[in-house]
Amino acid sequence: DGGALRAVLPESREASDADWSPDGTQIVVSMREQKTQPKFGVYLFKSSTGEWTLLPASRGLVAPRWSPNGRYVAALDETNHRLLLYDFQAEKWSDVAEGGLLGAPYWTSGSAAIYFQDQLDSEQAIYRVKIANRQVEKVFSCGEILRSSPSHCTLSGIGLDGSLYVMVERGLTDIYALDLDLP
């Protein structure tokens, strides 16, 4: 079952990083007007009405992620130096962490914390921010893995049981020795 496909993004806009609300009625997305607005903003799309709404003070924010309890949206500033949190009850953004080059945020299943990675950290460490007290703590370091030859580690998700999913890249090339007999 289902309806006919229909485009919901206005043609003049560019969007990325869409995430559904926990109740499935809205989508949060980074979006900008291609010709007139150089900065992305965080928009909500209400599927029942087709209405787009810009979250207040969200210009320059990207990679929005809705909390599983629906109360918050986490996002990065466009330089990926700051992690911010929008509280729908307080109707405001607050800074929760900063770093050299932050990767996309990932929520725990109970909305108690957000995980993120600082990819410019010498050990490409993964951090957790507890929402209740905004305490940031390092929970995993890729340092030992990186010393064994991979080019980098990337936080790619969190399991329902709280397990961290980390992708380890060893590069895109290998070196081979060949004996060639050419005419």
Q: What is the pLDDT of residues 122-161, one digit of tens each?
A: 888 999 999 999 999 999 888 887 777 767 788 999 988 8
SS3 state of residue 169: strand
SS3 state of residue 142: coil
Predicted TM-score (pTM) of the model is 0.85
- With the CA atoms of 149, 126, 61 and 7 taken in that order, what torsion angle do they form, in degrees rounded to the nearest 10? 70
Q: In the predicted model, what is the mean pLDDT of the chain? A: 88
Round to whole Å and give the CA distance between 86 and 125. Answer: 24
Query: Residue 42 belongs to what domain range?
Result: 13-143
SS3 state of residue 118: strand
The whole-number pLDDT of residue 67 equals 98
153 and 145 Cβ atoms separated by less than 8 Å: yes
Domain CATH number, residue 77: 2.120.10.30
Counted domains in the chain: 1
In a domain, 22, yes or no: yes
